[in-house]
Structure 1
Amino acid sequence: MINPSKIEEIARQIGSNMPQGMRDIAENFENKTKQVLQNKLAEMDFVSREEFDIQSQVLVRTREKLTALEEKVAALEAMLAAQAKDADSE
């Protein structure tokens, strides 16, 4: 397998041996590309990993509360059904 540091060294050597005009064009292209990518990524409205993790935790707690509420509603419905059955049998 090729050593990544060796690839970087070769790329630096090639870059340093390029004529100055070519280096300027390459640097300008790289800067413009970075700028365009940063602008487009900013427009995409991504969330940070931290914000994602926080929202995931909120979702877990919300699901737990929902499950507990569903169990309570089911118990109350069963109790009401039992009371209605008792009232009907009287």
Structure 2
Amino acid sequence: MQKPTQILEQIQRIAEEMQSKVGDAIRNSPAQEIEKNVRAMMNQGFQKMDLVTRDEFELQAKVLSKTREKLEALELKVAEMEKHRV
């Protein structure tokens, strides 16, 4: 009869072997290759759509916001100048 520590060591070895084999199977599986191909196809499709990145979008949104602020300030100045002109 085996000692409990020997049984635990065997279980641990079996678990490590299974973990290694599962890891190898995942690394060598076609799923990873399929994901890579799908990503490449999606990137090509997005490039054809002439999309912008999130960073570019956020930068342009800030520029637009500042431009609106300046426009509103200029509109107020023009309104004040017209008011005093009359």
In 2, Cα distance between equivalents of 1:31 and 1:57: 34
Q: 1:54 to 1:71 in 2, by over 3 A?
A: same
Amino acid at match of 2:42: L
Is 1:80 the equivalent of 2:85? Answer: yes
**For residue 60 of structure 1, what is the aligned residue in structure 2?**
65
**For residue 42 of structure 2, what is the aligned residue in structure 1?**
37
Amino acid at match of 2:80: A
TM-score normalised according to structure 1 size: 0.53
**Equivalent residues, number:** 66
In 2, Cα distance between equivalents of 1:41 and 1:61: 29
TM-score normalised according to structure 2 size: 0.55
Identity %: 38
How well do the aligned residues superpose, as a CA RMSD in angstroms?
Answer: 2.9
Amino acid at match of 1:45: D
Amino acid at match of 1:58: V
Pairwise CA distance, 1:30: 4.5
Long gaps (5+) in structure 2: 1-21
In 2, Cα distance between equivalents of 1:43 and 1:75: 49
